[in-house]
Amino acid sequence: MISVYAEKELDQNGFKNLQLIEDSFKEGKVKIAIKYYHEIPTKNIKSNPIILFELFKGLFESKIENSIISSIFNMIKKSDIKINSDIGYFLMVGFLWNDGLKYAERILQEMMELKIIPPAHAFILLMRSYWKNEMINKSEKLLELIKFINIREYSYYLRLLLIYYNKKKDKDGIYKWINELMKFTDEDFKIRNFPVLMLSYGILGKLSNTLELWEELNEKYSGEVLSSAISVLLDQIGIYGDITTLKKHWKLFINDSNDKYILNLNHFNSYIEALCRFKAFDEAIK
């Protein structure tokens, strides 16, 4: 359905063309919709983001081949029609949704060459697609591009990459990026990054580093902020530590009289699992 916004933004001719394109897609007449687009009389209307959005939305929803959509896009570019950030983003999302990773990559490359920065979410989708397809080298190259563009977003994506390596227990990947994430000392970054880093150090067998990061967080914060860090701490002590260290920290949490720690079921499960790893089954069932 054509939006009220479109009615306001387009002149009479533009709105008429938009309606013809939309109606053709609804009727399953993809070639007719494309024909109507090419017959639009002025470049100004053809390059309107609302018109372009409707055209590519219809093409992707019709599930036609990505190569055809790409060729239509190339024809539009040859007409000297400029693609803005929003349309570029939509094309990337559409190609990824249509299993067209290489076409999404081309759109990003062309946008960067034109110095057009797509919305941040485009990078998330592209990186997830790389992870899904085990294209780790490409995800790391994308991360380097993100670093060049925006340092705050870079920290976010870097954390996601380390989470990925943590799940895979990929020590080489963790070694490669852990020090990079440690460079971010802003307090907001610490709250989000430290639990990930604590787990990374645990996987590397560096429990002392995990404990150091925990102590730094514990000294400055309280409440829900510490929740994920507590779970990681108990898990890593259970795997790489000893029962004395485990009990020492658990006692600290349980005997908290100042409501510094907010324990939940996950924390109790982590503690019980850790006890079981130490074969302290009697204590685990108390």
pLDDT one-digit tens code per residue, 210-228: 999 999 999 999 999 999 9
The 10 Å Cβ neighbour count of residue 110 is: 16
d(CA 140, CA 239): 29
Most confident of 21-25, 30-34, 52-56, 266-270: 266-270
In a domain, 187, yes or no: no
Total domain count, the chain = 1
In a domain, 276, yes or no: yes
d(CA 262, CA 226): 8
In a domain, 74, yes or no: no
pTM above 0.85, yes or no: no
In a domain, 75, yes or no: no
In a domain, 225, yes or no: yes
Q: For residue 116, give the 3-state DSSP assignment.
A: coil
Domain that holds residue 233: 206-286
Is residue 103 within 8 Å of residue 70, measured between CB atoms?
A: yes
More confident residue, 257 or 131: 131
Report whether pLDDT(187) > 90.
no
For residue 123, which of 97, 136, 105, 100 has the smallest C-alpha distance?
105
Is residue 30 within 8 Å of residue 58, measured between CB atoms?
A: yes
pLDDT for 262 equals 94
d(CA 42, CA 232): 60
pLDDT for 45 equals 77
In a domain, 215, yes or no: yes
In a domain, 8, yes or no: no
The pLDDT of 76-83, averaged and rounded, is 77
In a domain, 60, yes or no: no
